[in-house]
Structure 1
Amino acid sequence: MPDYRKLIDAEIWAFIDRTNSFYPVDAVDRTIEEQRRTYDEMCKAFHAGYPAGVSAQDTSIETSTHKIPIRIYRSEEPSDDAVVLYTHGGGFILGGLESHDDVCAEICKGTGFEVVSVDYRLVPEFTHPAAYEDALAAFEWAVATYGRPVLLAGDSAGGNLAACVSHATRQAEHPPIGQVLIYPGLCGQLGRGSYLEHADAPLLSVRDMDYYREMRAGGLNVDTDPTFAPLVDEEFARLPPTVVITAECDPLADDGQIYCERVSAAGGKARWFNEAGLVHGYLRARHSSERASQSFSRIVGAIRDLGRGEWPY
């Protein structure tokens, strides 16, 4: 087992301790209502407010069966190069428009792009493929509504959804212009690599991941379903330019490396960053940790570059 006392610096340990004070290690043993309540309290405590010049508006996307709530962020200094579709993390069980509110506002500020945050349906009320269907519907809405390139971004579970949509729409008339995936869960093979080395990492363990995966599947056989697990797709050609940012001390780290290797092997553009000494969920530490701050700047820069059609890597 890694020596996390050496890998992780004092700032990130302070972030871990603060997070655990809201969302304890045994949270997956609690009821869904309790998990959501503690997660929402934690996110509220970390909320950093909006940067100057950013505003937000709540609305919804109409589908044939339901409404998908969305929040649209706009900058006083806008760029029309692209629009960002952001899908939040939370294990497909937690989170919503509030949980990543300030993150989306800061992405808007740092890029000038409008950012659309998607409040997709959650487990266990709606199992797979509900979240994927909402993310896909939001992408199609954004393409039709904005008439400009759409860039996909998301963290953790939201990174999974962004990748799933990229795979599903790569041959569309207007495919995504790029994707930026932040410590995404892409459903790699358990029992090896980072899944084994960091099985009991701070803030996300393999036990947690198993729980989220089983809850999302809802009893379905998803072993060969790329709308659930992007890494099981047999084809990685024609995917948009891809940047994946992972945390070193996270079971999911290898998912990012393997995914980028497959995109590159299929002739695409892909770059993987594995952030030293960081842990799953470190976006919330971007104002208290120098390492997390530098990584967030890298994330915003990647979104800005890909949205402009640039590839600086």
Structure 2
Amino acid sequence: MQITDPEVLKFIADTQAVYPDEANQASAEENRRLYDAMCEVFREPRPAGLPVRDEVVAGVPVRRYTPVGSEGRPVLLYSHGGGFVVGGLDSHDDVCAELAVATGCEVVSPDYRLAPEHGFPAQLDDVAAVWTAETASRPGIAVGDSAGGNLSAGLCFRMRRTGGVMPLAQVLIYPGLGGPTDAPSYTENAEAPMLRGKDLQAYARMMSPEARELRRTNPEAAPLVAESFAGLPPAFIVTADVDPLRDDGPAYQAALQAEGIRADLRNEPQLPHGYLRARHRSDKARQSFAAICGWINDVLG
């Protein structure tokens, strides 16, 4: 689908002016430099009066956002996107801050280890370690975008296997879940702005051969390869229509619903992968972010 919305087109142009398509074909170091510069361009000020602090939890650096009145409410563990290669505490800082204020929940964002220096399951190990520490005395919801959506879903499978604390819910924003690459969205959006098929291939090459093999068989790495989806928590899956990963969302929804698990899906026409960064520049992205916060609030009651 061709994007015609002028606000979205402006967002794409502004992004590509700082973070060109070729960045994903560069070295990890150069990709990170360009990605960090782009994130800084779009970074919004945190809501006034929101306490934020950096610390280490279970050996993993994290950033903690603690809105007034969050005591007694579940924690939101936010895993950032970036293809497991880019991103960190600053790349999604404003998203986490606004999510904390909108839901009234403390948000904890882990600075998990990145590929290619650290192969899978290092990323999920870090997320799971923080999750286990944070939910020792309170429940929580796993939230993540893109690669972070993969980690949030993978966390649910990890907790099912190990008998750990299962998230109350999983909120997956344009996630990559290991679906078949011959699905229609991979063909229709092979040259989509913000994330092309060749970019997904470049990120995959950054993984070790062992990690790539795990994605064929292990649902903690690629949730859609699971033989069973029983026992998983409710899900809110948000997909961008102009995104090769789009069809992973409805496939995951169908798998959960087949087990009688609540799984709500929201597809966003005219929006590309990574659109959360446009939530102050695009009405469509703004409405999507509001829907994400609203779904969490509805689940928490």
Are residues 1:13 and 2:9 paired? Answer: yes
Unaligned runs of 5+ in 2: none
Task: Give the AA of the match of 1:55.
Answer: P
User: 1:79 touches 1:112 (CA, 8 Å); kept in 2?
Assistant: no
Name the counterpart of 2:165.
174
Q: CA shift at 1:79, angstroms?
A: 5.2
Which residue in the other structure is 1:115 paired with? 107
Q: Which amino acid aligns with 1:22?
A: V
Listed as ranges, the gaps of 5+ residues in structure 1 are none
Indicate the SS of the match to 1:170.
helix
Among candidates 192, 200, 212, match of residue 203 of structure 2: 212
Say if 2:141 is the partner of 1:141. no
Query: Is the counterpart of residue 156 in structure 1 residue 146 in structure 2?
Result: yes
Distance 1:302 1:53 in 2: 24
Residues in 1 aligned to 2:70 and 2:128: alpha-carbon distance in whole angstroms = 25
* Offset at residue 219 of structure 1 (A): 4.5
2:266 is aligned to 273
CA displacement at 1:173 relative to structure 2 = 5.4
> 1:304 Cα deviation (Å)?
2.1
1:226 aligns with 2:219: yes
Q: Secondary structure at the match of 1:300?
A: helix
Q: 1:77 to 1:143 in 2, by over 3 A?
A: closer
Distance in 1 between the 2:287 and 2:207 partners? 32
The residue that corresponds to 2:235 in the other structure is 242
What number of residue pairs does the alignment pair up? 298
Classify 1:174/1:132 alpha carbon distance in 2 versus 1 (closer, same or farther; 3 Å).
closer
* Cα distance in 2 between the residues matched to 1:204 and 1:117: 23
Query: Are 1:156 and 1:184, in contact at CA under 8 Å, matched by a contact in 2?
Result: yes
Find the aligned partners of 1:253 and 1:39 in 2 and give their Cα distance. Answer: 22
Match of 1:185 among 160, 176, 184: 176
Give per-residue Cα distances to partners, 1:125-164, cap 9 Å, x unaligned. 10111101111111111112xx111100000000000000
Contact 1:53–1:109 (CA<8 Å) still a contact in 2? no
Deviation of the 1:55 alpha carbon: 1.6
Alignment partners' CA distance in 2, 1:192 and 1:103: 30
TM-score (norm 2): 0.96
Moved more, 244-253 or 168-177: 168-177
Of the structure 1 ranges 73-82 and 127-136, higher mean CA displacement relative to structure 2 is found in: 73-82
Equivalent of residue 202 in structure 1, options 186, 193, 211: 193
Mapped partners of 2:190, 2:164: distance in 1: 41
Offset of residue 82 of structure 1: 0.7
2:245 alignment partner, one of 245, 252, 255: 252
The question of 1:165 aligning with 2:155 is answered yes
CA distance in 1, matches of 2:165, 2:21: 43
Question: Residue 183 of structure 2 contacts residue 247 of structure 2 at CA under 8 Å; is this kept in 1?
Answer: no
Find the aligned partners of 1:214 and 1:161 in 2 and give their Cα distance: 18
The answer as to 2:286 corresponding to 1:290 is no
Provide, for residues 20-68 of structure 1, a one-character-per-residue CA deviation record: whole Å limited to 9, x for no partner: 0111111122221111011001111111011123121100123xxxx31
The one-letter amino acid paired with 1:123 is A
Contact 2:25 2:202 in 1 (8 A): no
Alignment partner of 2:88 out of 63, 76, 96: 96
Aligned with residue 51 of structure 2, among 50, 55, 59: 55
Counterpart amino acid of residue 170 in structure 2: Q
